[in-house]
Structure 1
Amino acid sequence: MHGFGRYLAAALAARFASEGMGMAVVLLALERTGSAAYGAYVLTAWLAPHVLAAPLAGAAAARARRPRLFYVATLAGFTTAVAALAVLLGRAPVPVVIAVAVLGGGCGPMVTGGLSSLVAGLVPPGARRDRAYGWDASTYNAAAVTAPAVVSLVAALASAAPAMAVLAASGALAATLAASLPYEDPGAAPLYRQPGAGLGAGLAALWRVRELRAITSATTLAFVGIGSLTTTSVLLAAGLGSPGAGGVLMTAFAVGALTGSLTLGRITAVEPGRLARWGMAGTGVALAAAALSPSLAVTAVLFAAAGVCDGPLLTATLRIRSEYAPDAVRTQVFTLGAGLKLTAASAGAALVGLTADAPAQALLGGIAALQLAAALLHALAAARRPVEAATEPSAASATTPVGPRTPGGP
């Protein structure tokens, strides 16, 4: 596990910066222009490039002659965009600000799936790698818990600009740590220089490999609901007589997700597909119960329970991508999967905006239904057909090599 500790630190620092951007951009826009809508437009420009940049970033990372330089450069570009927005937002012409946001957002896939794809080169296959993905998943959840809180605190004590400066500093730390990681396995072929993988190869793998198709389709559907959860929690809290307590519900969900990734997510004895289905189904049941809750306290407990179930889903997803992604398109599979989920979440946020006049309990019930539907979709998509099952061993050995080739390894 050479360098894995430094990897976790780099991933946490990068994802802290990414998770804090949503709140920081809106607060800064409100502070300088008086318009939260302007911040929402900038945030949209930040998020929109993710799915488009994902295959480009994955293919470029796979073909990079110097992968260390590529990863450090993309993290540095991400950081520079955060710092530039801290200076320009509300001061420079709108097209300039939007352009900076688009460029920074284009580096986003490397902060999420791109970094996660490095785990396979740092930890040998088996139970240790499965546990490593549990730790990697926990960096997402830890960032989701801490980043909004830190941004809010710094903005309250000083202003939103210093809050964005904190995010930029965290991104710079991530780039520095990424420069110290090992990117090649001595005695084996370079891990990330894989010739011949075109831009469509990762998407083709997501469709052709049954396990990848199942987890990608299911999590994309689930994230349509998760993307609308923040807005719905605000409406739900207001309906329960506690305006402004939506943040409490989302914090409970995030803390639960962190707990779930550090506990249930580390269960390596359970097949990851089954763990993913249990996670989505459990999240759906807990959110359905929360939709019927009569008080904020009970709702917060149920949101935390939903988070605990959601926590191991990311771990299971990372394990499936690592195990079944062909080596030549591993990074593309990771970046595309992350990009599709983020796009689905953005679509969910837009949908709930269009239906915000509906009762909050009904909206939350719809989110719960999407989680249950995603669990069912995964079960159906992952089911082995008789003909496929009969030919599975040869197909798997031909198309889904697992992990880097280490001396004496498989």
Structure 2
Amino acid sequence: MPPCPAPAGPRSGLRRYLATAFCARLAEEGMAVAVALLAVQRAGSAAQGAFVLTAWMAPHVVAAPLVGALATRMRHPRLGHLGALGGFAGSIVALSVLLGRAPTPLTLAVAAAGGCCGPVVSGGLSGLVAVLLPDGPPRDRAYALDAAVYNAASVAGPAVAGAGAALASPGAALLLLGGVAALAVALAAGLPYERPRGLADAAPATTLRADLAAGLTAVWRTRELRAITAAGCLAFIGIGGLTTTAVLLTAHRGHPGAGGALMTAFAVGALLGSLAVARWRPPLSDQRLAALSLCGTGLALGAAALIPAPAAGAALFVVAGGFDGPLLTATFRIRAGHARPDVRTQVFTLGAGLKITAASCGATLVGVAAALPPPLLLLAIAAAQLAAALLYMLTRPRPEGGGTRRGPALPDTAKGAGTRPAPFTGR
């Protein structure tokens, strides 16, 4: 297959990348709403939808290292990305037909297959930013925009799914999401996938098992990566239960049905925070930005648990989201700066898979503890953010050379596990 022509330049390539990422992530973010509505319509119960979503999310953490390793080993990475995105889109379309009609095992198998492609959407695509732009301020801004795309998709995805279900049907809404994911495949075909200089013409000299170990080792042995990964997972144990807690909280305070509005406020705040970081570079290192973001999210959610006024609660959820958006930006920059080019995709996919798994655990914990007072549950989520900030500050390396924003950038030709410049913070 002849390579597709690269975009005209870094700016046009970045725009195409952001459009690709937005379409793919919008489809993923809308899945939960569309699947739940479709299960109720066809099966008369949300239980089957919950099982389908579990099958969709469960493979993420298992598949993430393998997806990253295979993408790194492929001589033509374009084929790997297009195959994964195509499988992702195809699974969504298939679920729009099978859910509530086909035998449950078949439906769950299709959902699990789509979930195996998910790490490319949730993390693997972000690894392409380092291919589009050289290290420095333009790449930093690109990661802020990438985080904004995540947050924009989290706002638009459920809205598109809900609108499609209301105007047509839940099945049509899920089919629409599959079409949006297919558009992401078409856009991704025009992205550059060149390997870093020095790796392009060389076939992988290691085994797949060694590549899998290399990705896991990079996250574990690079202290900055280990610190931000551990902190992010702890924070997402709380964030994973935030939707259920918001629903319980608003019902507890006499406003049933307003939980969705709180989560929309959080998502809008996250989008605004990401855009603000992209537009106005804060005079903070990525490490300090991550710690400050975790603290700000925790304090705002804690205040929302203690203040019963609906307007104040919504405003505090916007503030909490406003801190959460920059956290994602800092995480992306940290991953890119500390991961060698030969394991960068694995670091992104593995980090995303671990976060999704942590969020799933958090949702389960809130379900088990649902009998507790909702303000107490929200305080626990806030405490998880503050504990994550503390964990990060205790486990990351102390800054060297006066605490500059980052250490020496890793050259794109870096390879193997030999001597390399001191890394800066990463998840």
Q: State the TM-score, normalizing by the size of structure 2.
A: 0.89
Conserved? CA contact 2:196–2:341, under 8 Å:
no
Pair 1:80–1:193, CA change in 2 (3 A): farther
Pair 1:143–1:192, CA change in 2 (3 A): farther
Among 232, 247, 252, the alignment partner of 1:219 is 232
Q: Deviations over 1:326-363 (max 9, x none)?
A: 12111110000000000000000000000000000000
Query: Does 2:332 correspond to 1:318?
Result: yes
- Secondary structure of the residue that 1:252 maps to in structure 2? helix
Query: Does 2:260 correspond to 1:251?
Result: no
Conserved? CA contact 1:323–1:403, under 8 Å:
no
Hey, what's the Cα distance between the residues in 2 that align with 1:307 and 1:315?
A: 13
Conserved? CA contact 1:230–1:250, under 8 Å:
yes
Aligned to 1:27: 37
Aligned to 2:173: 163
Shift of 1:184: 1.2
Matches within 5 A, 1:1-400: 1=10, 3-184=13-194, 189-190=199-200, 195-196=205-206, 198-264=211-277, 267=281, 269-384=283-398
Conserved? CA contact 2:131–2:196, under 8 Å:
no
| Paired letter, 1:359 | P
Shift of 1:185: 6.3
Pair 1:303–1:193, CA change in 2 (3 A): farther
Hey, what's the Cα distance between the residues in 2 that align with 1:131 and 1:241?
A: 42
Shift of 1:383: 3.5
| Paired letter, 1:48 | A
Pair 1:358–1:127, CA change in 2 (3 A): same
Q: Deviations over 1:232-264 (max 9, x none)?
A: 000001011110100000000000000000003
Conserved? CA contact 1:67–1:192, under 8 Å:
no
Hey, what's the Cα distance between the residues in 1 that align with 2:159 and 2:18?
A: 21
- Secondary structure of the residue that 1:124 maps to in structure 2? coil
| Paired letter, 1:262 | L
Conserved? CA contact 2:241–2:363, under 8 Å:
yes
Q: Deviations over 1:273-310 (max 9, x none)?
A: 11000000000000000001122111000000000010
Hey, what's the Cα distance between the residues in 1 that align with 2:61 and 2:50?
A: 18
Pair 1:191–1:298, CA change in 2 (3 A): farther
Shift of 1:115: 0.2
Pair 1:403–1:255, CA change in 2 (3 A): farther
Conserved? CA contact 1:227–1:345, under 8 Å:
yes
For structure 1, the 5+ residue unaligned runs are 391-395
Hey, what's the Cα distance between the residues in 2 that align with 1:105 and 1:114?
A: 13
Higher helix share: 1
- Secondary structure of the residue that 1:117 maps to in structure 2? helix
Hey, what's the Cα distance between the residues in 2 that align with 1:279 and 1:359?
A: 26
| Paired letter, 1:216 | T
Hey, what's the Cα distance between the residues in 1 that align with 2:292 and 2:180?
A: 34
Conserved? CA contact 2:307–2:313, under 8 Å:
yes
Pair 1:194–1:301, CA change in 2 (3 A): farther
Hey, what's the Cα distance between the residues in 1 that align with 2:398 and 2:377?
A: 34
Hey, what's the Cα distance between the residues in 2 that align with 1:83 and 1:130?
A: 35
Conserved? CA contact 2:67–2:346, under 8 Å:
yes
Q: State the TM-score, normalizing by the size of structure 1.
A: 0.93
Aligned to 1:393: none
Hey, what's the Cα distance between the residues in 2 that align with 1:361 and 1:138?
A: 29
| Paired letter, 2:22 | L
Shift of 1:39: 0.4
- Measured on the aligned residues, the alpha-carbon RMSD in Å equals 2.0
Hey, what's the Cα distance between the residues in 1 that align with 2:113 and 2:299?
A: 39
Pair 1:33–1:139, CA change in 2 (3 A): same
Hey, what's the Cα distance between the residues in 2 that align with 1:187 and 1:294?
A: 57
| Paired letter, 1:37 | A
